[in-house]
């Protein structure tokens, strides 16, 4: 507590009020959000039930059921009970290396350990990139994105840990960075931009390490679970998940602040929704590639890349906004924001606590505004660096 108070004093009076918003208002909104959830999935940590079931089937020797949607539906009922809502298993076979230990403990202790371990991994990954750690990390734990992640028992902390570590380590430890990025392939949609960034930045050792890591994980999972697991993933569960992402409606859509889903909520045909997403992805990728090549602090490059990774993905949910929340803290450790830069950060920080009406899917637009704020700062720092040189 003394360290938190000291960090707040060091931040200065204007910043203290904004930190109060992050450390007090944010958690209050998170609590209100969690208490008003009427969705059976998120109100009872049901997403974690998918992970726990996957681990159970693995130890039973019934791993192939994970990648057959009809078989997995029956397995969920058998493992979790008849009242458990149907959720798919969208992950590739090598994700089981992470999920395997979960069913070795009863459900609730396993959930608690999962959330504790993954948040600890995220804190460790971000530690060197944060300026006021004893304020920022509690804020990150209590922010709305974390509340959504914990309500569902999801993997947002793990994704932020791997992505944050991978990007922040690029300058000092490229092999470790490549390993982290390779392990992030358990959610392939979050890796679409990363090869381009590694190439643009000239991080060739990290690029090769990431490629080797992915190949090794695929081969090991094929040996451990059989090549049939990958065949089923590519022909059944993968296409089924793509169908869900494109055509499911209801709360799933409201919790997906991507340009593709914004297009669907606005009633655009499927093809035009993809055009909207691809256009936004190209612009976000261009901005991130430009930033990674500039003479600016590496932490700011990492923050910009993390926001761009979210914007480029056509399939990302509010618990994945832990990535963007972490990026906000990293960026604020690099420069002292103006009031309107604080406002842009704060709006996105609080975004997961609100379910926007279907005719106002402005989530991706707000994230894009934050992205442009960070790019503007990168431009200013680049100009200052060039003038100083």
What is the structure's pLDDT at 389? 64
- What does pTM read for this prediction? 0.90
Question: What pLDDT does residue 207 have?
Answer: 97
Kindly tell me the burial class for residue 37, based on how many C-beta atoms sit within 10 Å of its own C-beta (0-12, 13-18, 19 or more): middle
**Residue 53 falls within a domain, yes or no?**
no
| pLDDT of res. 11 | 52
CA dist 305 and 321 (Å) reads 14
pLDDT tens-place string over residues 214-246: 999 999 999 999 999 999 999 998 888 888 878
Cβ atoms of residues 382 and 374 within 8 Å:
no
Instruction: Give the distance, in angstroms, between the CA of residue 100 and the centroid of all CA atoms in the same chain.
Output: 21
Q: Does the residue 24 lie in any domain? A: yes
By residue range, what is the domain housing residue 243? 2-42+112-388
**50, part of any domain:** no
User: Are 169 and 345 in contact, with CB atoms under 8 Å apart?
Assistant: no
Q: How many folded domains does the chain comprise?
A: 1
| Per-residue DSSP letter, 356 | -
**Cα 345–351–356 angle (5° rounding)?**
140
Q: Where are the alpha helices (DSSP H) in 266-338?
A: 270-292, 298-312, 322-332
The 8-class DSSP code of residue 188 comes to G
Find all residues with CB under 8 Å of 55, minimum gap 6, and list them: 96, 99, 100, 101, 102, 103, 104
Q: Residue 126 is encoded by which pair of tokens?
A: 């971000």
pLDDT value for 167 = 97
The whole-angstrom separation of Cα 42 and Cα 35 is 11
Q: Which of 374, 355, 332, 362 is CA-nearest to residue 18?
A: 332
Cα separation of the two ends of the chain: 42
Q: What pLDDT, on the 0 to 100 scale, is given for residue 275?
A: 96
Residue 49 lies in a domain: no
Single out the residue of 240, 261, 225 nearest to residue 86, CA to CA.
240
Report the distance separating Cα 273 and Cα 27, nearest Å: 34
Predicted confidence at residue 358, as pLDDT, reads: 54
Structure tokens at 80: 């979790």
Q: What is the mean pLDDT of each run of 10 residues along the chain (389 residues)?
A: 54 53 63 56 69 95 92 90 84 96 93 95 92 82 88 93 96 95 95 96 96 97 95 91 77 83 90 96 97 95 98 93 95 88 88 67 94 96 79
Residue that has been written with the tokens 């190949």 in this structure: 215
Backbone angles phi and psi of 371, in degrees to 5: -60, -45
The answer for residues whose C-beta is within 8 angstroms of residue 219's C-beta and 6 or more apart is: none
pLDDT of residue 40: 47
- Inter-residue contact 164 to 306 (CB < 8 Å): yes
Whether 61 maps to a domain, the answer reads no
Q: Is residue 104 part of a domain?
A: no
Whether 153 contacts 114, CB under 8 Å = yes
Query: Tell me, what's the pLDDT at 177?
Result: 96
User: Would you say residue 279 lies in a domain?
Assistant: yes
pLDDT value for 299:
95
Any domain includes 173 = yes
């Amino acid at each position: 507590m003394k360290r938190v108070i000291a960090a707040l004093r060091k931040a200065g009076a204007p910043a203290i009020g904004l930190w109060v918003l992050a450390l007090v208002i944010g958690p209050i909104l998170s609590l209100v959000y969690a208490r008003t959830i009427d969705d059976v999935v998120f109100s009872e940590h049901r997403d974690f039930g998918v992970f726990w079931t996957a681990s159970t089937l693995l130890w039973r020797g019934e791993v192939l059921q994970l990648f057959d949607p009809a078989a997995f539906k029956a397995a969920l009922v058998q493992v979790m009970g008849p009242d458990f809502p149907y959720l798919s298993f969208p992950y590739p076979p090598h994700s089981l290396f992470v999920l395997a230990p979960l069913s070795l403990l009863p459900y609730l202790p396993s959930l608690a350990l999962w959330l504790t371990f993954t948040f600890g991994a995220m804190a460790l990954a971000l530690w060197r990139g944060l300026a006021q750690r004893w304020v920022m990390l509690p804020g990150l734990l209590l922010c709305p994105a974390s509340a959504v992640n914990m309500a569902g028992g999801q993997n947002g902390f793990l994704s932020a840990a791997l992505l944050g570590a991978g990007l922040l380590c690029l300058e000092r430890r490229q092999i470790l960075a490549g390993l982290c990025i390779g392990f992030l392939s358990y959610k392939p949609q979050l890796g679409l931009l990363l090869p381009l960034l590694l190439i643009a930045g000239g991080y060739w050792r990290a690029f090769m390490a990431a490629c080797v890591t992915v190949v090794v994980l695929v081969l090991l999972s094929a040996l451990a679970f059989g090549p049939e697991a990958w065949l089923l993933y590519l022909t059944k569960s993968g296409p089924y998940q793509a169908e869900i992402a494109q055509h499911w409606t209801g709360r799933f859509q409201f919790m997906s602040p991507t340009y593709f889903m914004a297009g669907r909520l606005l009633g655009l045909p499927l093809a035009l929704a993809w055009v909207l997403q691809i256009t936004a992805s190209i612009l976000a990728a261009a901005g991130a590639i430009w930033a990674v090549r500039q003479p600016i602090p590496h932490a700011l490059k990492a923050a910009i890349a993390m926001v761009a990774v979210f914007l480029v993905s056509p399939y990302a949910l509010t618990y994945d906004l832990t990535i963007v929340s972490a990026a906000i803290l990293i960026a604020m450790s690099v420069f002292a924001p103006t009031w309107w830069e604080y406002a842009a950060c704060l709006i996105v920080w609080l975004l997961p606590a609100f379910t926007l009406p279907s005719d106002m899917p402005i989530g991706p637009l707000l994230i894009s505004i934050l992205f442009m704020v960070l790019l503007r700062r990168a431009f200013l720092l680049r100009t200052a660096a060039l003038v100083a040189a």
